[in-house]
Amino acid sequence: MNITGREQWTYNRMLINNATLTENMKIADPTQTTIVNEVRLMLDELPFDGARVVELGCGKAEKTRTLAETGRCREILALEVDTIQHARHLEITDLPTVRFLHAGAEAIPADEASVDIVIMFKSLHHVPVALMDQALSEIARVLKPGGLAWISEPVFAGELNEIMRLFNDEEIVREAAFAALNKAVSDGRLTLARQYFFQTRSHFDDFAAFAQRMIQVTHSNHSLSAETYAAVQQRFATHLTTEGATFHSPQRVDLLQKPR
Summarize the confidence of residues 157-168 as an average pLDDT: 96
Q: What tens digit of pLDDT does each residue of 195-204 get?
A: 999 999 999 9
Nearest to 162 by CA among 259, 239, 226, 109: 239
Per-residue pLDDT tens over the stretch 85-122: 999 999 999 999 999 999 999 999 999 999 999 999 99
d(CA 142, CA 148): 11
Q: How confident is the model at residue 216 (pLDDT cuts 50, 70, 90)?
A: confident
Instruction: Report the candidate in 35, 88, 36 with the shortest Cα–Cα distance to residue 65.
Output: 88
Q: Is-contact 70 43, C-beta < 8 A? A: yes
> In this prediction, what percent of the chain has a pLDDT beyond 90?
87
| Cross-strand partners of 118 | 54, 149
Tell me the β-bridge partners of 78.
55, 100
pLDDT value at residue 9: 45
pLDDT computed for residue 10 by the predictor: 45
Does the predicted model carry a pTM greater than 0.75?
yes
Closest to 162 in 3D by CA, of 245, 77, 67: 245
Neighbours of 39 (CB within 10 A): 16
User: Rg of the chain over CA atoms, in angstroms?
Assistant: 18
Cα 57–chain centre separation: 9
Q: Are 205 and 239 in contact (CB under 8 A)?
A: no
DSSP three-state, residue 120: strand
Query: Hey, CA dihedral for 179, 60, 71, 55, is it positive or negative?
Result: positive
209 HSE (CA, 13 A, CB side): 11
Stretch 122-144: mean pLDDT: 97
Q: 138 vs 3, which has greater pLDDT? A: 138
What's the CA gap between 260 and 249, in Å, rounded? 35
CATH of 5-257, one of 3.40.720.10, 3.30.1490.20, 3.40.50.150, 3.30.1360.70: 3.40.50.150
Contact 70, 47 (CB under 8 A): no
Q: In whole angstroms, how far apart are CA 68 and each of 16, 40, 64, 83, 216?
A: 25, 13, 6, 22, 27
Predicted local confidence at residue 217, as pLDDT: 72
Phi-psi category of residue 189: left, alpha or beta, with phi > 0 → left and psi -120 to 50 → alpha: alpha
Domain boundaries of the chain, sorted by first residue:
5-257
